[in-house]
């Protein structure tokens, strides 16, 4: 992929206007089309920088002497990199953190004590079956899952 020819033309126009014959004299006796084509190819990687246009930065920060392609590429690489602004971490009162952690711990303790105390891996299925047997309406998938887990014959859906 290459830089658009219009972009290369603008670069050459700017460098010619800035340096005059010193810039254009670098290619005296050569056809300019292959030169511009090489510039387009070599500068293509700088065209894919949407956050900061490296080529524009280079054109605004030209050296005292006319750059050749290698020097212009080095100048493009010197463009400052875009960085997102970072906010300071919010200040949190340690008492609030401790209170929230206590709530989380209490919820975890309640949740673990409501499980089968023997660590039965099928406790969830037995619990669902007991709820269902007690008359609670469960979803079809809940019923299917506890029956399958407990080895109860699973009825095919009609």
Report yes or no on whether pTM surpasses 0.95.
no
pLDDT tens for residues 60-104? 999 999 999 999 999 999 988 777 788 888 888 989 988 998 888
Based on C-alpha coordinates, what's the Rg of the chain? 36
CA dihedral 52, 56, 60, 65 (to 10 degrees): 120
**CA-wise closest residue to 2 among 63, 55, 46:** 46
- Say if residues 44 and 91 touch (Cβ distance below 8 Å): no
Per residue in 20-35, pLDDT tens?
999 999 989 999 999 9
pLDDT tens-digit series, residues 115-144: 545 678 888 899 999 999 999 999 999 999
Residue 144 CB contacts under 8 Å (≥ 6 apart), including other chains: 154
């Amino acid at each position: 992929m290459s830089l658009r020819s219009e972009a290369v033309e603008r670069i050459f126009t700017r460098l010619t206007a800035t340096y005059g014959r010193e810039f254009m004299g670098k290619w005296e006796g050569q056809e300019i089309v292959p030169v511009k084509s090489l510039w387009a190819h070599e500068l293509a990687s700088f065209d894919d920088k949407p956050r900061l246009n490296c080529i524009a930065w280079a054109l605004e920060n030209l050296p005292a002497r006319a750059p050749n392609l290698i020097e212009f590429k080095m100048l493009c690489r010197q463009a400052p990199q875009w960085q997102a602004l970072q906010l300071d971490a919010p200040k949190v009162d340690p008492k609030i953190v401790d209170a929230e952690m206590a709530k989380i711990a209490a919820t975890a303790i309640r949740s673990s004590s409501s499980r089968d105390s023997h660590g039965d891996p099928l406790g969830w299925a037995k619990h669902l079956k007991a709820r269902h047997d007690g008359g609670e309406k469960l979803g079809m998938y809940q019923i299917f899952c506890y029956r399958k887990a407990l080895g109860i014959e699973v009825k095919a859906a009609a």
